[in-house]
């Protein structure tokens, strides 16, 4: 894309870098298979983490041990087309609807990064464009500005999933039978998560927090706010006002995840867990919650 200076873009093209394997070098999972809790327990460690997605009577769990090798799962739940995404470099897991302007899109991994964050591409639905995971929209190409709807999900440890769902069996777990040969027991990023450094140098930074501080982040009525995860977990539950809406930040009693709830409707809000550096790239004007601010 940097070779096409006239391509429509809302991000700095000179900050796009090749992530290494090229387009589809990290293959998306387009025909996901699922297994039971008992089957997954044979290989998933209790302290491993994944994304839990629920809709109607259906619940699905997507282990990071699989997502780290694929980054995108094109799936559906209760008939709704969804895209489960995970950027290992940003520790950002986001679930989107795949319906854009009435069409169902399928997405792949472009092999490109913007400030270490996953850039996706649309495999159908018009001219190929680059979509930023953390921005949640097309940022380069003819579809620039087209937005993806963010859906609720939780980051949950496998041990908590087992305790909650082993009796009922009412959860489907993404299977290692992906159609690709990968070592799903291996962590390909080594000590990246224990190091304060990012894989590639950052041009956009916010000194209010260390780059790799983990947080829960929200956008409500165009207003963005980030809640440092450890700090918020230590004092939850508490209430806050964001975008004119009263919300509750709580720790789920069964799954032990930090969650955001609409105080009026009692519905789970589509919050995002992420490293700080990735969130501020997309939302440089984000508010930052601190424990002393709580109501």
What 3-state class would DSSP assign to 58?
strand
pLDDT reported for residue 2 = 41
d(CA 87, CA 71): 6
Give the model's confidence band at 65: pLDDT under 50 very low, under 70 low, under 90 confident, else very high.
Answer: very high
pLDDT cut 70: percent of the chain above it = 98
Residues near 154 by beta carbon (within 8 Å), at least 6 away in sequence: 51, 52, 252, 255, 257, 259
pLDDT reported for residue 3 = 47
pLDDT reported for residue 295 = 63
pLDDT reported for residue 1 = 39
pTM, full prediction: 0.95
Contact 109, 118 (CB under 8 A): yes
Give the model's confidence band at 263: pLDDT under 50 very low, under 70 low, under 90 confident, else very high.
Answer: very high
Residues near 109 by beta carbon (within 8 Å), at least 6 away in sequence: 23, 24, 25, 26, 27, 28, 70, 71, 72, 118, 120, 121
Residue 204 has pLDDT above 50, yes or no: yes
Residues near 6 by beta carbon (within 8 Å), at least 6 away in sequence: none
Give the model's confidence band at 7: pLDDT under 50 very low, under 70 low, under 90 confident, else very high.
Answer: confident
HSE toward the beta carbon, residue 3, CA cutoff 13 A: 1
Kindly report the average pLDDT of the chain as a whole number.
94
Contact 276, 210 (CB under 8 A): yes
């Amino acid at each position: 894309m940097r070779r096409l200076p006239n391509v429509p873009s809302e991000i700095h093209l000179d900050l796009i870098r090749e992530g290494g394997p090229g387009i589809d070098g990290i293959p998306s999972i387009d025909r996901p298979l699922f297994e039971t809790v008992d089957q997954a327990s044979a290989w998933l460690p209790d302290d491993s983490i994944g994304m839990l997605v629920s809709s109607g009577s259906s619940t699905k769990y997507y282990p990071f041990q699989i997502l780290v090798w694929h980054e995108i799962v094109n799936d559906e739940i209760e008939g709704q087309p969804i895209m489960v995404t995970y950027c290992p470099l940003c520790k950002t897991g986001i679930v989107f609807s795949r319906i854009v302007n009435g069409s169902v899109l399928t997405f792949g991994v472009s092999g490109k990064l913007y400030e270490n964050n996953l850039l996706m591409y649309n495999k159908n639905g018009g001219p190929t464009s680059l979509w930023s995971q953390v921005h949640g929209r097309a940022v380069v190409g003819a579809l620039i500005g087209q937005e993806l709807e963010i859906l609720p999900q939780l980051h949950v440890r496998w041990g908590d999933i087992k305790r909650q769902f082993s009796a009922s069996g009412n959860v489907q777990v993404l299977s290692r039978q992906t159609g690709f040969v990968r070592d799903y027991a291996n962590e390909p990023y080594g000590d990246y998560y224990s190091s304060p450094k990012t894989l590639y140098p950052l041009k956009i930074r916010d000194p209010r927090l260390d780059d790799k501080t983990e947080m829960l982040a929200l956008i409500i009525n165009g207003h963005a706010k980030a809640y440092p995860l450890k700090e918020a977990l230590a004092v939850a539950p508490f209430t806050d006002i964001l975008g004119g809406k009263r919300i509750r930040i709580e720790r789920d009693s069964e799954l032990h995840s930090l969650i955001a709830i609409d105080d009026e409707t009692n519905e789970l809000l589509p919050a995002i867990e992420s490293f700080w550096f990735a969130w501020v790239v997309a939302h440089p004007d984000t508010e930052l919650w601190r424990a002393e601010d709580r109501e």
